[in-house]
Amino acid sequence: MFFEYPNLLWLLAIPVLLTSLYIYQELTGRKPHMRVSTAKPWKLEGRSALSVLRHLPFAFRIAALSLIIVAIARPRSSSQMEKIDTEGIDIVLAMDVSTSMLARDFNPDRISAAKDIAIEFIAQRPTDRIGIVVFAGESYTQCPLTTDRATLINLMKEVQTDLIEDGTAIGNGLATAVARMAESDAKSRVIILLTDGVNNSGEIAPLTAAEIANTYGVRVYTIGVGANGTAPYPVMTPWGVDIQRVNVEIDEDLLKTIAETTGGRYFRATDNTKLAEIYSEINRMEKARTTIDSFPVYKELFTRYALLALAFLLLELLVRLLIRRLP
């Protein structure tokens, strides 16, 4: 056991001083007295219960005060051990936010499903730095590499279509994600690139971006999202939103080449369940690359000392009530 704020233990001098003062007052206090020929009758009678009990309230109060001081010094225990990942991985989630991500072959649509499953993935990686890059006709960084899970999740929830020029600039999205890794010193660097289309815009060719990623030692896992054949897509008409069937076009050969170039893998997701399975598989594969070590698990002991202090205060109250009832 150790204390988070050991300097506060100096406050234990207070109950010591109070005890010394109490004993001094008991020994020097003025008491009624009378002269008698012999004290033998009183010695035979012994000490009354009242003479013993009257010191207990003070003793209980001093004990409670001492326990409160120990509690606020924050006692902790580290006797238990737990294995956790010690080597963090830097991960960038590069997500396509073109309007085709509004297709409803996923529930409720592609982009919503991708965001929800990505949030679950983020929550399962507590020791890694994770960033978010979004791309359509151009790309930008939604969140730089960070371990702040709350910020990551909130920024992921804010991802949506129509914020940037429409299109599918896979090369730009991948290059921006690689740029987030440029100064990373992590032993393992990963990009998860998710798209539902064919590269049709951007200044950087996807394979050029893949070569850059390979140069920096960044693995790229590519995910193509979309049902086989056609998918329902909301189209605005003069009479409101109309759901029409549109062809699903994913450049799987390009995504496979990007993954192979960087030592990653290509996956195809046709529904929510399959996409969740893909993220789970990536999660397992990357955890296998980390170094496992043992670290102490700290246990807070504040509660037990606080409860003991409360128990002594209640005992003080009970003894005082008992003394009042004694003859």
Closest CA to 135 of 181, 95, 175, 103: 95
Per-residue pLDDT, averaged over 98-121, amounts to: 95
Q: What is the pLDDT of residue 85?
A: 47
Comparing 5 with 92, the larger pLDDT belongs to: 92
Query: Which single residue is written with the structure tokens 């009242």?
Result: 50
pLDDT digits (tens, 9 = 90+) for 243-266: 889 999 999 999 999 999 999 999
Comparing 45 with 321, the larger pLDDT belongs to: 321
Q: What is the pLDDT of residue 25?
A: 84
Q: What is the pTM for the complete model shown?
A: 0.63
Comparing 96 with 82, the larger pLDDT belongs to: 96
Task: Walk me through the domains of the chain, giving residue ranges and CATH numbers.
Answer: 2-27+42-80+297-325 (no CATH), 87-290 (3.40.50.410)
Per-residue pLDDT, averaged over 54-77, amounts to: 87
Residue 49: how many other CB atoms lie within 10 Å: 11
Computed over every residue of the chain, the mean pLDDT equals: 86
Q: What is the pLDDT of residue 288?
A: 47
pLDDT digits (tens, 9 = 90+) for 272-300: 999 999 999 998 887 645 444 455 566 78
pLDDT digits (tens, 9 = 90+) for 199-254: 999 999 999 999 999 999 999 999 999 998 999 998 887 887 788 899 999 999 99
Q: What is the pLDDT of residue 48?
A: 58
Among 69-73, 278-282, 290-294, 317-321, whose mean pLDDT is lowest? 290-294
Comparing 45 with 116, the larger pLDDT belongs to: 116
